Amino acid sequence: MRQFAALYDEIDSTTSTNAKVAAMVRYFGSAPRADAAWAVYFLTGRRLKRLLQYSLIHEWTMAATGIEGWLIEECYSVVGDGAETAALVLDQVLTVAENPLSLAEWVEGRVLTLRGMDPATQQARVTAWWRSLERLERFILLKLLTGEFRVGVSQTLVVRALAQSASLEPPIVAARLMGEWTPSADWFERVLSPEHTDDDRSRPYPFCLAAPFEGDVVELGDPRDWQIEWKWDGIRAQLIRRGDAIHLWSRGEELITHRFPEISAAATHLPEGTVLDGEVLAFKDGRPLPFSALQQRIGRQKQVAQMSRAVPVVFMTYDLLESGGVDIRPRPLAKRRTALESLLGAVGGGVLRPSALLHDADWGALADQRSRSRSLGVEGLMIKRRDSPYGVGRKRGDWWKWKIDPYSVDAVLIYAQPGSGKRASLLTDYTFGVWHEGALVPFAKAYSGLSNEEIAEMDKWIRRHTRERFGPVRHVEPVQVFELGFEGIAESARHKSGIAVRFPRMLRWRKDKKPEEADTLENVRRLIAPRPSGAAAQA
Amino acid sequence: MLKETAQGLYCPAGDFHIDPWEPVERALITHAHGDHARPGSAAYLCTPHTAGLLRRRLGADITLQTIDYGVPLAVGGVNVSFHPAGHVLGSAQIRIDASEGVWVVGGDYKRAPDPTCVPFEPVRCDTFITESTFGLPLYRWDDTALVLRDITSWWDANREAGRASVIFCYTLGKAQRLLAELSSVTDRPVYAHGMMLGMMDAYREAGVSLPPVKPVIEAGGRSNRATFAGELVLAPLSARGTPWMRRLGTISDAFASGLMRVRGVRRQRAYDRGFVISDHADWPALLATIAETGASRVLATHGYAEPLARHLRAQGLDSGVIRTAWEGEPGSE
């Protein structure tokens, strides 16, 4: 554990990616294999299922330190992180004994054994463990227990470090980290193995990601060099048919095969050794349903059959990655597309369908098409270079997403509270309201979009213009107007305003506007209804 | 006996203010940091060491009277005396003795050892005005020896990698303390930003033993960047991100402050390292000090005054909060 904590500290103490990679390479070279396996598990953002609620940690911290609950909450509002708060507050009373256990022993022999134990035994164990760990190790333990442990390093860097350790090409390592695996010494050996022992048939390929396009499309040259498609608002996924097995993987590397039985049923018609890249999309009467409809399917483990009648889905396919058991990702997109079309022409039906191509000859006509996006229920256009291979990760230049401008609304800041993590000392999490019957109704929360200078200025302003405090939340004078942008809007019974918005963020601080000039709830509601085409153009 | 006014804390019986933030007739100054010693007052009273710093900061022509630690002086209708606060050179608590009882204004103080100033002395009183910059139980300082070990191992690692190590810290107090502490564990020279040299001299004039520092300005220059590889440089926060930094070549940077106790604060400011070393009292020191004064009434000011006062009330003390004009970040000068 000490060695892993030191690695965490090294990664945490530098912004240099080279230094992070070097620290990981040193760790992988010296740590026990089983520890290294768990380290990869955590470094790549995988998490243990939450074992304990933060409220229990809070209670046990009170019991261990004798410090009042409200005072620990005050600390939390400064620290912005439950596990770190507890680790720091416990420092008031604990002296540390030696702890010889390795990371794997901690995880397998201790942390995971807590599951299903009665709370009193859990408390006795955990509070005894606290006494054997230094502050940083205690912080890591608490993060593991609450299922929130995260390290500030990207998957790409972990892959680079492993590839360096094993003298392998990064894409090989990247593929070996995909899909489901259980950390163990053997597993780690296989990841670093020089031979291609790739026998895991469920494994997806690393997803190729598009970069947002913000310039002038004309600069992309002849549109005929590009494959243009709609940008669908669903769940990016790979559909794998190898042998008899069918797997549907989300981009978050979650296995979602059983959530969408109609897709796996359709996939049985695919030839063996086929991998498709596409989008799971709620789709009815020839057009996509909003993402919120799809969310009902994601959240539902039971009554799948019933839900699939109410919210039918399709697999909108846009690429063929493996054909006849051969990895064809290096072939040009145009060739893969031809193969995809003939494959789906033969076996595709209602559920597996190719994503339509737009064939306009000039960018002006394509821009007109893009302006219809909202009325068609899509997010804009995808622009992919026809001669490009299927890359790993976000490689700029080959794949672009050209999204439509977001919806926007002018709203008034009504509540503010501290951010979390590195913004814990600043009031950066805002709640905005719009007018309804003479009062401001909360309608969206937003955290991003302001510059550091604006954040500092707002922080100062909020502290001086707080009307009331409810714990960490400050009710502020309704003065500041912000233009909020968001990607989607839908009815919601769970929100006070009756509406829910997707990906809200601040587009601009409207210092020029008075609060009474902000939008009304009625204005905002008008955005919900499926609007006649043409209206999208002005949004 | 003391009341809050628009200018700051005021003692009507003695007709003076303590650390006023606006110009007044007579100002008693606990220490020379900018949020306690403001320009423009007609007359100042402070310890001799604070006087030296004050003249550098506010001008040599200010009207100033000095008072040694522990020596009573009648001001207006009350007796005042100054007592060591252990915060920075010359820092004092101010004791006021009047018919209604004894008050002590603690100013900023710390209990951790500091080779550059006289250690804090608890003063018995009825009412204690305590700072609460770090008045939450998440704040607890490690022994300075541990922090020094972290600093030197970071410095060593940077030296091996050919980087300069830059520690940002406050110009008055922290810089001198770090320099003095470092000289006890290493013979290697330490560089300092030009803005820090004046206060270094002031400390030396006051008889504080500090090793020599090398000014960056003389050693540097575009031509020989390698000069700073492997060296340690102390710099004020205001130098961060300025062109001055360029002459140091490749660096790793750190901030030495109690604020660095919270990971998110360090990350938000994007320092590579945070060294938790503070000239303020941590939570255990605040509680211990309050107990040692024997005060039945405690007023908290700066930083986390509300939570500290609420905690003290729960312990059965009469406790409240004194406002300050300085609602900036805790721990700043």
A215, A303: one domain: yes
**Cβ partners under 8 Å of residue A193, min gap 6:** A166
What local confidence, expressed as pLDDT, does residue A534 receive? 35
Asked if pLDDT for residue B249 goes beyond 60, the answer is yes
Three-class DSSP category at A396: coil
Strand partners, A241: A246, A274
What local confidence, expressed as pLDDT, does residue B219 receive? 56
Going residue by residue through chain A, which has 539 residues, state the pLDDT in tens, using 9 for 90 and above: 899 999 999 998 887 889 899 999 999 999 999 999 999 999 998 888 888 988 999 999 999 999 999 999 999 988 988 999 999 999 887 676 677 899 999 999 999 999 989 999 999 999 999 988 888 999 999 999 998 888 888 888 999 999 999 998 777 788 788 777 899 999 999 899 887 655 567 778 889 999 888 888 889 999 999 999 999 989 999 999 988 889 898 887 777 888 899 999 999 999 999 999 999 999 988 889 888 788 888 766 667 777 888 889 999 999 999 999 999 999 999 999 999 999 998 776 689 999 999 988 899 999 999 988 888 889 899 999 999 999 877 777 899 999 888 788 999 999 999 887 667 778 899 999 999 988 999 989 998 888 888 998 999 899 888 888 777 788 999 999 999 998 888 888 878 888 888 889 999 898 888 898 899 998 888 888 554 333 333 33
B58-90 pLDDT per residue, tens: 999 999 999 999 999 999 889 999 999 999 999
- Determine the distance from the C-alpha atom of residue B33 to the mean position of all C-alpha atoms in its chain, rounded to a whole number: 7
Search chain A and give the residue with CA nearest B325: A464
Residue B15 DSSP class = T
Q: Where is average pLDDT lowest: A89-103, B114-128, B168-182, B205-219?
A: A89-103
A219, A75: one domain: no
Q: Name the helix (H) or strand (E) containing A209.
A: strand A208-209
Per cent of chain B over pLDDT 90 is 81
For B:39-68, CB contacts with A below 8 A are: none
A468, A338: one domain: no
Strand partners, B284: none
A394, A417: one domain: no
Residues of B in contact with A92 (CB under 8 A): 137, 140, 283-284
Search chain B and give the residue with CA nearest A62: B137
Q: Does residue A155 fall inside a structural domain?
A: no
Asked if pLDDT for residue B235 goes beyond 70, the answer is yes
Domain that holds residue A422: 407-538
Q: For the domain that residue A252 is a member of, what is the CATH number? A: 3.30.470.30
Mutate to test the interface with B, among A422, A455, A457 (most CBs of B within 10 A): A422
Residue A204, amino acid? P
Tell me which residue in B140, B262, B307 faces A92 most closely, judged by beta carbons: B140
Least Cα separation, residue A414 to chain B (angstroms): 22
Tell me which residue in A70, A89, A421 faces B138 most closely, judged by beta carbons: A89
A309, A399: one domain: yes
Which ranges in chain B are annotated with CATH 3.40.50.10890? 144-275
How many residues would you count in chain A? 539
**Cβ partners under 8 Å of residue B26, min gap 6:** B15, B16, B17, B41, B42, B43, B44, B45, B75
**0.80 surpassed by pTM:** no
Q: B144-275: what CATH class?
A: alpha beta
Strand order in the sheet with B73-75: B73-75, B78-84, B92-98, B101-105, B127-131, B297-301, B318-321
Q: Does residue A388 fall inside a structural domain?
A: yes
Q: Does residue A7 fall inside a structural domain?
A: yes
State both tokens at B102: 């004894």
Task: Identify which of B141, B117, B302, B278 has the alpha carbon closest to the alpha carbon of residue B199.
Answer: B117
DSSP calls for B148-185: HHHHHHHHHHHHHTT-EEEEE--TTTHHHHHHHHHHTT
Q: Does residue A248 fall inside a structural domain?
A: yes
What local confidence, expressed as pLDDT, does residue B100 receive? 84
Domain C-terminal end among A94, A111, A145: A145
The answer to whether B267 faces chain A, any CB pair under 8 Å, is yes
Search chain B and give the residue with CA nearest A463: B327
Search chain B and give the residue with CA nearest A69: B311
Provide the Cα torsion A223, A227, A228, A232; round to 10°. -160
Q: Does residue A383 fall inside a structural domain?
A: yes
Question: What angle (nearest 5°) sits at the alpha carbon of residue B331, between those of residues B198 and B27?
Answer: 65
Q: Does residue A496 fall inside a structural domain?
A: yes
By the 10 Å C-beta count (0-12 exposed, 13-18 middle, 19+ buried), B28 is classed as buried
Q: Does residue A521 fall inside a structural domain?
A: yes
A314, A344: one domain: yes
C-alpha span between B40 and B60 (Å, rounded): 13
Least Cα separation, residue B235 to chain A (angstroms): 19
Counting the structural domains of chain A, the total is 3
Which ranges in chain B are annotated with CATH 3.60.15.10? 3-138+279-321
Domain C-terminal end among A403, A422, A440: A403
What fold does the segment set B3-138+279-321 form as a domain? Answer: Metallo-beta-lactamase; Chain A (3.60.15)
Strand partners, A327: A322
ipTM reported for the complex surpasses 0.85: yes
Question: What angle (nearest 5°) sits at the alpha carbon of residue B163, between those of residues B162 and B167?
Answer: 150
A361, A466: one domain: no
Domain C-terminal end among A371, A403, A435: A403
A284, A332: one domain: yes
Q: For the domain that residue A27 is a member of, what is the CATH number? A: 1.10.3260.10
A444, A373: one domain: no
Q: For the domain that residue A474 is a member of, what is the CATH number? A: 2.40.50.140
Q: Does residue A94 fall inside a structural domain?
A: yes
Asked if pLDDT for residue B326 goes beyond 90, the answer is no
Task: Identify which of A435, A429, A405, A399 has the alpha carbon closest to the alpha carbon of residue A417.
Answer: A429
Please, what is the average pLDDT of chain B? Answer: 92
The answer to whether B160 faces chain A, any CB pair under 8 Å, is no
Three-class DSSP category at A401: strand
Task: Identify which of B121, B236, B262 has the alpha carbon closest to the alpha carbon of residue A423.
Answer: B262
Mutate to test the interface with B, among A15, A20, A88 (most CBs of B within 10 A): A88
Residue A255 DSSP class = B
A393, A283: one domain: yes
Residue A385 CA: distances (Å) to CA of A396, B149, B171:
11, 55, 56
Other residues' Cβ atoms within 10 Å of the Cβ of residue A237:
28
Q: Name the helix (H) or strand (E) containing B300.
A: strand B297-301
Mean pLDDT of B116-136: 97
C-alpha span between B317 and B322 (Å, rounded): 16
What local confidence, expressed as pLDDT, does residue A298 receive? 76
The answer to whether B304 faces chain A, any CB pair under 8 Å, is yes
Task: Identify which of B195, B178, B193, B329 has the alpha carbon closest to the alpha carbon of residue B268.
Answer: B329
Tell me which residue in B261, B273, B329 faces A13 most closely, judged by beta carbons: B273
Is A422 close to B264, i.e. CB distance below 8 A?
yes
What local confidence, expressed as pLDDT, does residue B331 receive? 39
Catalogue the E-assigned strands of A273-364. Answer: 274-284, 287-288, 313-323, 326-327, 352-354, 357-358
